[in-house]
Amino acid sequence: MTTKRRVGVLVSGRGSNLQALIDAAEAPEYPAELVLVISNVPDVQGLARAKAAGIPASTINHKSFGSREAFEDALHDALSEAKVELLCNAGFMRLLTEGFVSRWLNRHLNIHPSLLPAFKGLDTHARVLESGAQITGCTVHFVRAAMDDGPIVAQAAVPVLSDDTEESLAARVLTAEHRLYPHALRLVASGLVTVDRERVEGMPGGLGERALFSPPLPDKS
């Protein structure tokens, strides 16, 4: 039996993507196990989700430290003590310094609610709607020091509907996130994909030339 990779998850809020990872990791054949969840904000739902699943969970409050580096040292020490091999951001709302990123280089994933490199940063869905884009989505990528930057592991595209609000669009994208993140972590934890010169290599095929059209093409029948 292949040894499962030990995964730590960083959260700052409700942890819905954490829950998606928890659910996926329950499958015996899944190549990763969640061994630690850390929040930088006390008493958030993400911590409760971890405890309900029997995963060790703790708070390392960034406000308790005098510098970003001191906070990140505490974060790194906790992850190292738990023998974490791969790290996942799941709604973790802190930018990390180059020093921390370098310690977890190519072992640290993040999910963002757009088709990167488009619409980096905050207020993503409002900006998508304002732009008039017809397709948006979500992206899992390896973390780099720049916000929402790094080699892309996996993406999912969803249509933008004519009557969408920020809330309805966010909900549609989030549904895709909950499927995409476990898929991307599976690819990384299994060793199917690696990073070479800032590009992900070894990506499995299968899509062929199929495309998502929004608005949809007329039915040929």
Task: Please list the active-site residues.
Answer: 112
Taking the alpha carbons at both ends of the chain, their separation in whole angstroms is 49
Q: Which of 197, 174, 177 is nearest to 185 (CA)?
A: 177
- Report how far residue 63's alpha carbon sits from residue 94's, in angstroms, rounded to the nearest whole number: 12
Strand order in the sheet with 32-39: 57-59, 32-39, 5-11, 86-89, 108-112, 135-142, 152-159
Count of positions (residues) in the chain: 221
Cβ atoms 49, 15 nearer than 8 A: yes
The rounded radius of gyration (Å) of the Cα atoms in the chain is 18
Cβ atoms 117, 137 nearer than 8 A: no
